[in-house]
Structure 1
Amino acid sequence: MFSNIASAPAKQSVGDTITVLSGRLSSATLLEDRRAAILGLRSFAKDYPASVASGALRSLIGSLSNDGEDVDTVKVVLETLLMLFSPNQDSPEASEEIALWLADEFTQRQENITLLLNFLETTDFYSRLYSLQLLGAILSARTERTEECVSLAPLGIPRLVAVLDERREAVRNEALTFLTYLTPSSPLIQQSVAYQNAFERVFAIIAAEGSLSEGDRIVEDCLILLANLLRLNPSNQSLFRESGCVPQLASLLESTYHTGKEDGEVAEWAQEQRNRNIYALLSVALITCAETIRGNAKLQESFAQLQVPSVFDTSPPPTNGQTGKAKGVSVVYVIDGLLDLSLSLPAIQAFDLRVAACQCIKAYFFNHPDVRMHFLRRAIEGHASGVDETANVLTTLLRPIDTTVSVDPYRHWFAASIMFHLIFENAEGKSLAMSVTEGDAESGEEVVTCIQTVAAHLVTAIARGDDDRVSVGYLMLLIGWLFEDLDGVNDFLGEGSNIQALAQEIVRHPSNSVLVQGLCAMILGVIYEFSTKDSPIPRATLHSVLMSRVGREKYIDALNRLRSHPLMRNFEVTPQKADGSGNLPDVYFDASFVDFFKDNYSRIARAIDRDPGMEVSVVTNGVQKGISRELVDSLRSQVEEKEQSLQAALAEVALLNGKLGQEQADHSRSREASASELARIKNVNEAIQRHHEDEIRKIESQQQSNDSAHLRQLQEVQKQAAAAAEAIHSEHRAKETELQRQLEYLRKTSEAETARVQRRSDAEMADLRATISRLEVDLMKANKAKTQELHAVREELGSKLEAEESKTRSAEEQAIELEKQLSKRDEEILQTQTGLKEKEEQKSATQTELDDLLMVYGDLEEKVEKYKKRLTDLGENVSDDEEDDDEDDDEDGDEDDEDDDEDDAVD
């Protein structure tokens, strides 16, 4: 085809090709040229994502903006971007960081996300589908930032929700999936979606897909979206009830129930999907129910009286001992039914349903002490009765762990979570639960307390290597139970081997689980924090065991690693539900426990540094417990000393009382004598007073005469002082006149001396001027002689200079002639080089165009083959004549290309 080419073109590397295509995409002015460059980049996107992204990512995004009206260009650009997010696994450039980099490029500029959302307004199938898929990939890589950009985009949420009305299922399903992943954790986005008639649209999709009984995975996704919108969002829950959606839930369940009875045998996969849909719907219903009764005392009290059909065909008797039949169906009280769902439904597909049932139980006794204590008492009574109650949280926790724990570890986890909420910050509940014991003392069996039984099961689960969820559930329960409960701590310390087992788990290397190690460290910190000198293991001994068996660094490190673990650190933003993979979900912690851990982490971390002699004071039911034992001993010794002093003081008081009686009698006699003496002294005092007044009058008259004499003396002294002052003033004026005369004399003397000095200076200056004149005459004579000598030397040098200048001029003329010849040669060389460079550029341009033609021709051949194959698949016959015509056309095109190349070569 290219027979006129003498040799094959140089093979271009992938990096160079991507660079050329990226440059063409950014600089081309024609839409067809840009689209061809994008097609070329798309062919490399799967295998070389890093190279394509680094060279052309911004140009691709810019093409979406500049060429957004051309659907073909938008399609190939979106396809290329999607390929960059999901490259081939065996690609040498495949890396998880590429997706993060691409997501950052979109989310760091709000207009990029807005641009993708704008494509949802178009009617083109691929533009809408691919933009949703691209938004989903960005959301998966940068969740929080994408949520922020979508919520800030103008009409972003309304556009997304409006796609749920799309008749094309692929686009609608993609929008449903994206909204499901967008709404788990952001209340603002949940409200924005709900207020765009999302509930009505979701129910319409469920009805269109065949409801629960016939619907596929799309129905399950719809129910998951409903659960996301309702979970922990009171505003959406109110809107859900007010919009009449609760009856729709009931009708869905009713229709599914009747359909299940009427249908015969159903395929296993269809039955499994039907069950998944029902579980998802029940999750939505239970979440709605839980949020409705939470904190509402009247609803909580009446809720337990409701009866519902049993989850199982042969359900165990309820804890209240009542059961019944309703239209031939076994019914149980709703709390028993919820416990059955939480504890006795091991299917992984039903995990979200079990979580919702557990939340509903917690909402039943939330913030209602009476209901909480009633629930706990009924659980204790049911356990004590010995009846086989599978759905009893206390029985589940106190029975030995069986082999089914590997299949359903969440049975014990849910039981521990419910028990945690029953006794957490509930001193009465803790005391009641501590009264539960295992073993009959009358039969010679060892009596073991509830706390010790749970601790023994915990140690067994850790030693056997059972699923971490079981150990985490027991540890959460014990930590919440023992916190600020001195009696509970003493009960736990009654079995000292548990301390050794927990300490051994912390220092085990390699560690089985960071979560279990961290929680073991925390429970040991809680036990030490609230232990006392009188505990079964004294506080000082417990501190020495912790420091020797664990050590401060290991203790702090275990707590730090637990706090920084993603399941603890990112709990609030991690969906606590099944992921659909068929594996056990990564749900380990209860939300209340996570808040408790984060609030008390610092206190427990510092507990190991607290002095063993200093106990923690705890107020339980208004009674303060725990104080420094050293202070108690000191106070006791002080009390004994005070008691002895008091006895001595009482004896002394008795002695003093006798003395006091004697003194009082003496005092009465003395008082009578004193009264008579006082009367006598009063008479004497009055006589003295009268005499004293007479003396005062005499003294006053003498004082007046003395004052008049002193006044006369003062006036005389003032006259004498005035005469003396006048004499002093006259003397001062005489001295001042004498000083003025002396000053005038000194001034005249100074002026005469100044004139004499001036005359002497003038004479000296005249002598200096004469000397200077004489020296100037001598200098002129010397300059004249020197000038004549220099003139002679100058004439001699001038003659020599003229001779040298003539020689220099002749040499310069020769140099100019040579430079002209050299310049002429340089011009000839430059012309030759310019010609060679132009030839090289023409050759390079020809080679580049040839390579581009090869690539375009290769793409065209691939398209022709695909079209032929598609025609063949569709039943169309492709004759050999058509293929020959195609080949003739190709040959004619090739000949035209060769003629053009020859013309270019001739030019």
Structure 2
Amino acid sequence: MLSTLTTAPAKQSVSETIPILSGRLSTATLLEDRRAAILGLRSFAKQYPASVASGALRSLIGSLDRDGEDVDTVKVVLETLLYLFEPDPDSPEASPEIAMWVADEFTMRHENIGLLLGFLDKERLDFYSRLYSLQLLSAILSARPERTEECIVNAEDGIARIVAALDEQREPIRDTAVGLLTDLTPISTVIQGLVAFENVFGRVFGIIKTEGGLAGGAEVVVNCLILMANLLRLNPTNQAMFRDMGYLVEVSRLLKEAYGGPQELEELPPRSEELRNRSVFALLAVIRLFLVPGASVTAQNQEAFLGDLLQPDRGRGGRTSRARGDPILVETLQIAFSPVAEISIKSEALLACADMIRGHAPAQEVFAGIQVPSPLADLAANGQGPQANGGVPRVYVIDGLLDLVLAVNSLQAFDLRLAGCVCLKAYFYEHAQVRMHFLDHAIRAHQANADQLTNVLTILLQPTTELLTGDPYKYWFAAVLMLHLLHNNPEAKSLAMSVTEGDEASGEEVVTSIQTIAAHLLSCVAKSEDPRVIVGYLMLLLCWLFEDLSGVNDFLDEFTNLQGLIQAAIENPHGDVIVQGLSAMLAGVIYEFSTKDSPVPRATVREMIMTRMGRDRYVDKLSKLRSHPLMRDYEVLPQKLEPGLDQKLPDVFFDDTFVEFFKDNYSRILRAIDREPDAEVSVVINGVEEGVSRKLVDTLREEIAQKEQDLQDLLADKEALSTQLSQEQAAHAQTKTLQSTDLARTNETLTTLRAQLAAKDRSIQTAESQTANINRQLTAEQAEHQRAKAELARATETANTLRTQLAVKDKTIATAETQLTTLRQQLAAAQTNAQQASAEVSRLKTANDTLQRSHGDEIRRILAEHKATEENLQHQLSTATKTSQEETERVKRELEAATKSAEQETERVKRRLEGEQADLKATISRLEVDLMKAGKSHSEGGQKVTELENKLKKESEARERAEKKVKEQEEQGRREVDKVREESQKELKKVRGLVEEREKERKAAQGELDDLLMVFGDLEEKVNKYKERLKALGETISDDEDDEEDDDEDDDEDDEDEDEEEEEEDKGKKK
């Protein structure tokens, strides 16, 4: 039993332990148990990552959510997950697929990434949770970049929390955040914008300042600059934000402090110096991101980098503008010429300066005025250290660049020289005035034998044998600079071609610049000089002679130039493909732009090429040059010195502008050899077309010769005619002398006759003048007479018009009178109707009285019952009759008064019109009499016509006033008649209304009377029945009773008749 107790428990395998720990992590309820399970898993994660990931990955991620508030648990979980991304290299389960597996598990759900981002909240201050979360996000991003970026962007405040970690004072967390942001921002413009919006630039500059700037030598500074480069690369929005928020000031400050602080005089540790150089290089690379050629915001960035160097009147489009920001260009130039900066940094600084001024005319102009330390003062010329005395002379930047490019003979400084050449090319770029100024200065300095060391023209025209071998790139750089001065610039080509060598006064041969350069080219080929020198000369001549007929003729002035060129193309001693191809191309350019009038005719040039080289070899040379790796792959090959121990010259043979020129014109030059000599090309230079078809030129010359011969023949004919004309003029002079005497006598007689004729003419003119005056007077009087007759006709027409208007008025008045007569007739009819109504009422009353008298006591009783009703009706009838009579009388009086007034007014208007008409007739008669008198006394017509005109004018005015009065009277009469008519119609309507009311009352009374008559009839029938009964009973009826009854009936009928007559009279009066 003791042996059993002392026996050790069986050792569990890894495959058994990991599932147990994973299950305990998932099911344990106590935090300590779960933490212990996580610690166990962590111990296996390095050695067995695959087993841990497959068995416990989801439990570990779930623990971050469940136990996220416990700092210790979170730390252990994050460490375990990080071990899965970085397993032990000796582990049998180590595999890159595990990292992708873990990353897929995290990115499958956005909430998992959100858990890691939650640990970066500003309220979470624990160190390891923040650090490990950033490290884990970086690991996941490396494994699955696209899906991780999507999760971070979609997470709430995901980018903001990561950027906020840059403010962390604990360097590991801050540096890790910088690295994570650097990995997040290279590609996605969305993430770049979101990061920039979180004030990342200000935070980055804050970190750099905290680390001591570029000279501080911190790794995080380099990472910050790389992050800044990611945010600014090809992102105009972020560039504009960076520029507008004033961060260019920070860039300028960093550049100024890079080599200007106390560290400049102190020797830094190698590691710190390396980091400083990397930081400066990275900042220069960031600056170049703002200056990408062809970008939309490059011009604005160039202005911003120049800062105060731009004058206020240098704005584009003539407007006043001033660039914002400090002069970064100046600070960059100081680094480029710093004696302590490395060559790679100075090269990058010069390239940045070239980008700042390229294609920006104001920047190119102010660039030449900046001063920099002289590069020749740095004895080492490789950035190894400053001068011992510390005094560095300053020169203008163009002189400094020429010194650097042409005077510094150091293989280690090649990249710096090449960058200086690029900067000079940017200074020339698309600025014709700068080109001409530079070339003119070079020509004057060459002619004055000044600046021989750095004058591109002197270097090309007067090479030294020692330098050809020792520094071939000096001539290559000089040729490239001259190429950029002359390329596509006919004016500069003409100016350069005017430069000559040799003193004609001293008996020396005068040689042009093209012939001198061609001679040096052939000499270098013959001596097998460095091919870089030969290639430089060939590139220059190709760009110079292309489309320059004068330059081609100048080249062909020396026949040996063409021979040597063809020889270099086919029998190069070294068989250099580049030299042979360029020589063949130059021969093709010379043939393409030669003419029949060239020193070597075009046909001869083609014959020499075809004879000595042949078409197939010509095409082969050009094709091999086109496919040469240095030409074919120029854009992808690094144009710089390759580091190595052999110290050989770099493989830099071509200039970028020449490569573009070659590829653009390769096909044309290749086909040029197939063009017949008669087909000369046409070139437009400075707006003038040069070069035409040779056949056309010959034809025109033959025509000119024929025209000249015809002109000589015409001149001979002219001479013969001139001699004949002289003879005829002599004969004519003799005849003229004889005729002069006769002409004198004839002139005397003619003078006398002219005097007599003049007197007659004056008499005739006097008579004609008098006759004309009389005619004018007669014409004027006739015209006045015609005007008077016209005025009379117009007056007559006006009188006729007035008569017509009066007739119309008479008709209107007659119409009004007719309407009045009609109204009177209507009134009489209304009165007749009223009288008839009164008679009817009287008749009814008479009948009523007769009926009343003809009945007995029963009738009286019935009448007594209705007496009150009858009296009431009679009272109403009498009242209505009286009212109707009064209203009828009033209407009659008003109508009679209105009618009388209208008749009086009409009569008055008629009398007035008749009087005015009579006056007008009298006036017209008087005017006719006056006109007749005026016709009889025509001699006094002018004065009388004037009087008649005045009178006629007055009469016209009077006529107008009369017409106006007539119109007013007519209008007033019309208004009064209309008023009377309206009032009469209104009164008539009222009378008709009263008559209708009386008629209704009469009908009502008639109805009541009819009822009474029916009652009386019934009573009579009863009386008759009673009498018959009495007679039947034997009673005797006396005649008195019958008569009394008859009288009563008659009285009633009479009363009824009287009532009806009274009602009719009342109705008539109302009408």
TM-score of the two chains, using structure 2 as the length reference: 0.43
Q: Work out which of the residue numbers 129, 150, 155 in structure 1 matches 2:194.
A: 155
Which one-letter code corresponds to 2:694 in the other structure? R
Higher relative contact order (CA 8 A, sep 6+): 2
Out of 593, 597, 621, the residue aligned to residue 534 of structure 1 is 597
Does residue 221 of the first structure (1) align with residue 247 of the second (2)? no
- Which residue is 1:608 aligned to? 673
Matched, 1:342 2:405: yes
Partner of residue 234 from structure 1, selected from 292, 295, 299: 299
Question: Sequence identity, in percent?
Answer: 40
Once the two structures are superposed, what CA deviation does each residue of 1:73-113 show, in whole Å capped at 9, x if it has no partner?
9758967998xxxxxxxxxxxxxxxxxxx9xx969998599
Match of 1:295 among 355, 361, 364: 361
Mapped to 1, the partners of 2:105 and 2:627 lie a distance apart of 42
1:254–1:419 CA distance, 2 compared to 1 (3 A)? closer
Q: Distance in 2 between matches of 1:39 and 1:373?
A: 64
For residues 404 and 279 of structure 1, the distance between their equivalents in structure 2, rounded to whole angstroms, comes to 24
Q: Which one of 480, 485, 490 corresponds to residue 543 of structure 2?
A: 480
CA contact (8 A) 2:585 2:669 kept: yes
1:60 Cα deviation (Å)?
A: 7.0
Q: Where does residue 396 of structure 1 map in the other structure?
A: 459
Structure 2 residue aligned with 1:831: none
- In structure 2, C-alpha distance between the alignment counterparts of 1:647 and 1:547, rounded to whole Å: 45
CA contact (8 A) 1:25 1:59 kept: no
Deviates most, 108-117 or 328-337: 108-117
Matched, 1:430 2:493: yes
Q: What is the SS of the residue equivalent to 1:155?
A: helix
Corresponding letter in the other structure for 2:682 = S
CA distance in 2: counterparts of 1:78 and 1:354, whole angstroms: 42
Map residues 523-602 of structure 1 onto 2, 5 A cutoff: 523-547=586-610, 552=615, 555-556=618-619, 559=622, 589-602=654-667
Instruction: Tell me by how many angstroms 1:631 deviates.
Output: 3.2
Residue-by-residue CA offset, 1:261-312 (whole Å, 9 max, x unaligned): xxxxxxxxxx654677667656656764x459x4349x84x87677777554
User: Are residues 1:375 and 2:438 paired?
Assistant: yes
For residues 472 and 112 of structure 1, the distance between their equivalents in structure 2, rounded to whole angstroms, comes to 57
Q: What letter matches 1:172 in structure 2?
A: V
Q: Which residue is 1:827 aligned to?
A: none
- After superposition, give the CA deviation of every residue in 1:786-827 in whole Å (9 maximum; x if it has no partner): xxxxxxxxxxxxxxxxxxxxxxxxxxxxxxxxxxxxxxxxxx
1:558-587 per-position Cα deviation (integer Å, ceiling 9, x unaligned):
556666777767777888778899997776
Please state if 1:170 is matched with 2:219.
yes
Q: Contact 2:589 / 2:669 at 8 angstroms: preserved in 1? A: yes
Q: Whole-Å Cα distance in 2 between the matches of residues 606 and 112 of structure 1? A: 60
Q: Which residue of 2 aligns with 1:141?
A: none
How do 1:713-724 and structure 2 match up within 5 A? none
Q: Secondary structure at the match of 1:619?
A: strand
- The Cα of 1:398 is off from its aligned counterpart by 1.7
- Asked if the contact 1:176–1:221 (Cα under 8 Å) also holds between the matched residues in 2, the reply is yes
CA apart distance, 1:532: 1.9
Counterpart residue number, 2:937: none
d(CA) in 2 for partners of 1:598, 1:253: 34
Distance 1:595 1:400 in 2: 28
Q: How does 1:239-258 map to 2 (within 5 A)?
A: 239-242=304-307, 245-246=325-326
Secondary structure of 2:681's aligned partner: coil
Bigger mean CA deviation after superposition, 622-631 or 589-598: 589-598
User: Alpha-carbon deviation of 1:482?
Assistant: 0.3
Moved more, 365-374 or 531-540: 365-374
What's the secondary structure of 1:390's corresponding residue? Answer: coil
Mapped to 2, the partners of 1:374 and 1:496 lie a distance apart of: 33
> How far, CA to CA, are the matches of 2:239 and 2:475 in structure 1?
32
Cα RMSD of the aligned pairs, angstroms, is 6.0
CA-CA distance at 1:395 after TM superposition:
0.8
SS in 2 for 1:386: coil
Paired letter, 1:604:
I
Structure 1 distance, partners of 2:190, 2:236, is 11
Whether the 8 Å contact between 1:22 and 1:59 is mirrored in structure 2 is no
Spell out, residue by residue over 1:845-883, the C-alpha distance to the aligned partner (whole angstroms, 9 max, x if none): xxxxxxxxxxxxxxxxxxxxxxxxxxxxxxxxxxxxxxx
Counterpart residue type for residue 680 of structure 2: E
Are the equivalent residues in 2 in contact too, given 1:472–1:588 (CA < 8 A)?
yes
> 2:682–2:689: 8 Å Cα contact kept in structure 1?
yes
Task: Tell me which of 686, 694, 709 is aligned to 1:629.
Answer: 694
Q: 1:154 to 1:234 in 2, by over 3 A?
A: closer
Deviations 1:475-510 (A, max 9, x none): 332122101111211222345555566556666899
Return the alpha-carbon distance in structure 1 between the equivalents of residues 439 and 259 of structure 2. Answer: 43
Cα distance in 2 for residues equivalent to 1:429 and 1:25: 76
TM-superposed deviation, 1:619: 3.5
Which residue in the other structure is 2:553 paired with?
A: 490
Q: Distance in 1 between matches of 2:55 and 2:503?
A: 86
The change in CA–CA distance for 1:629 and 1:200 in structure 2 (over 3 A counts) is same
Q: Secondary structure at the match of 1:478?
A: helix
Q: Which has the larger radius of gyration?
A: 2
Matched residue SS, 2:361: coil
Report how far residue 432 of structure 1 moved: 2.8
Q: Compute the displacement of 1:336 (Å).
A: 3.4
Tell me the CA shift for residue 533 of structure 1.
2.6
- When residues 568 and 337 of structure 1 are mapped into structure 2, their CA distance, relative to the original with a 3 A threshold, is same
Aligned residue number for residue 451 of structure 1: 514
Q: What's the CA shift string for 1:324-380, capped at 9, x where partnerless? A: xxx998666664344323322345676676566556655666666565444323322
What is the letter of the counterpart of residue 451 of structure 1?
I
CA distance in 1 between counterparts of 2:610 and 2:303 reads 54
Which sections of structure 1, spanning at least 5 residues, go unmatched?
A: 6-17, 83-101, 137-145, 261-270, 316-326, 656-907
Given that 1:410 and 1:470 are in contact with CA atoms closer than 8 Å, whether structure 2 keeps it comes out as: yes
TM-score of the superposed pair, with normalisation by structure 1:
0.50
CA distance in 1 between partners of 2:586 and 2:55 (Å)? 62
Matched length: 582
- In 2, Cα distance between equivalents of 1:553 and 1:115: 66
Contact 2:407–2:453 at 8 Å: present in 1 too?
yes
Is the contact between residue 503 and residue 550 of structure 1 (CA under 8 Å) also seen in structure 2? Answer: yes
Structure 2 stretches of 5 or more lacking a match? 1-7, 13-46, 61-76, 117-130, 167-172, 212-217, 265-272, 308-322, 380-389, 721-1071
Q: Deviation of residue 407 (structure 1)?
A: 6.3
Q: Deviation at 1:190? A: 5.9
Deviation at 1:632, TM superposition (A): 2.9
User: Matched residue of 1:476: which SS?
Assistant: helix
* Secondary structure at 2:684 match in 1: strand
Deviation sequence 1:214-270 (CA, Å, 0-9, x none) = 36312343234334534652211223345865457768989999xx9xxxxxxxxxx
Residue 433 of structure 1 deviates from its aligned partner by: 1.9
For 1:263-278, what aligned pairs fall within 5 Å after superposition? 272-273=340-341
User: For the residues of structure 2 that align with 1:231 and 1:39, how far apart are their CA atoms?
Assistant: 40
**Cα contact 1:64–1:77 (8 A) shared by 2:** no
**What is the CA distance between 1:392 and its match in structure 2?**
0.7
